[in-house]
Amino acid sequence: MTHNTPDLFADVEHVEVRPRYTLRRKLRVLHVIRPERRRASEHLRLLLTHLDRTRFEPEVAFSPLEEPEFPDQMRRLDVPMHTVEMHRRFTPDEDLKTFHELMKVIRGGRFDVLHLHGRKCALVGRVPGRLTNVRAVVHTPHDFGFQYAHTDRARKFHTRLERTLGRFTDAMICASETEAEEALRMRLVAPERIYTIPDGVDFDELPDRVDHIDVRRRLHISMATRLVVMTGRLDPPMDPGTLLRAARHVLRVQPTTRFVVAGEGELLDFSRHLTRQLQIDRKVLCTGHRADATDIAAVAQINVFSASHGAPPLSLLKSMGLGRPFIASDIEGCREVITHGKTGVLFPASDERILAGAILKLIGDRGLSLRLGTSAREYIRRAHDIRTWSRAIEEVYLKTLAEAARK
């Protein structure tokens, strides 16, 4: 690999910086986010929770058009906020307004670091960062716009746009080797500016004990019923359809099994329609967003992650951290965290029959399920500690600032 990888299996190497960044004052960091993307907002919440406040002074500029609970989360973390309307789709007139609003916020704050979360924030935020002389512009993409383009023309447009804006990016933080390799392959930024920092899990937030009876009562599922769960936001590249079609095969063999798909997103209505079409809607519950999704994952016999591509979501890492056996699509991102047969089970993406067979295998083999769950928990605690993750991001800030000071 040609990009930088702060290794979560070892201490992050300390990056020397000039004294003015560490001794004279705290470094001011502005985070820009559209909190509609729950992965991005959860990522930011965890980062702000564990950021070293003796060295960094964070503020957040966010779009008020989504997630009404987001401001309350920031208030609890005692983080100053700025509202900047930001629309999901590419709309030149609205994006130009966002551009100017961000310029005002950045100019007024005299920030050292501008950290942009998600592709839309990076689209409208990188140029203002450079024009206002922010010392370091950092981008955490979570995914890339060209991956969702429906035509070659749109794909080429988004790729050229990313490459152009990449010139204004001092550091890109990728959550997986797969994401970093894609950025390298598409030449989005210079190789030395790409950092791979796998997501961290806050084990203090995982429940030590879950009341199985209470959680199942809320779902109207008996204790005697085997439960298979998928949690996470239902947006592409998530593939709930493969799980639902696999559920039909499982229910023919194990009719007392129940399935729960917990998460909101653009594929929620599709999922509910498909359960009715497959005539499994009495045994499959598509709940939408659940505040108790982690508890639901904790009481499941099996957790599943089905997707066509991409980095593993935080929900997958959390479920593994809970010690529950996991079945996931055999895609690059999942192969980075799951060793087939040791810390989980991988199935070919979109293959409903092999997924159904894997579910039936784990339902029938409690010993295997226990071994997989125990190994998964040990791996997550060793490789995805939240404090190591947050320190690695802090080191990217410091290293990028040090490099800017030498120019």
| pLDDT for the residue 143 | 77
| pLDDT for the residue 146 | 62
Stretches where the chain sits below pLDDT 50 are 1-2, 6-23
Residue-range domains of the chain with CATH: 19-200+385-406 (3.40.50.2000), 203-383 (3.40.50.2000)
**Cis peptide bond upstream of 68, omega within 30:** no
Residue 45 vs residues 65, 72, 248, 300, 310: alpha-carbon distances, Å:
18, 11, 37, 26, 21
How many residues make up the chain in this entry?
A: 407
**What are the φ and ψ backbone dihedral angles of 148, each rounded to 5 degrees?**
-110, 10
pLDDT digits (tens, 9 = 90+) for 136-147: 999 999 877 666
| pLDDT for the residue 220 | 93
| pLDDT for the residue 77 | 97
pLDDT digits (tens, 9 = 90+) for 167-181: 999 999 999 888 899
Task: Judge whether 286 and 310 are in contact, CB under 8 Å.
Answer: no
Distance CA 407, CA 336 (A): 36
H/E stretch holding 74 reads helix 70-76
CA angle 123, 167, 389 (to 5 degrees): 75
Distance CA 63, CA 2 (A): 35
Q: Given 3-state DSSP classes, what are the helix, strand and coil percentages for the chain, each rounded to the nearest 5?
A: 50, 15, 35
Q: Which pTM does this prediction carry?
A: 0.85
- 347: closest CA among 302, 377, 299? 302
362 alpha-carbon distance from chain centroid: 27
Residue 232 vs residues 12, 39, 89, 280, 298: alpha-carbon distances, Å:
29, 9, 22, 21, 14
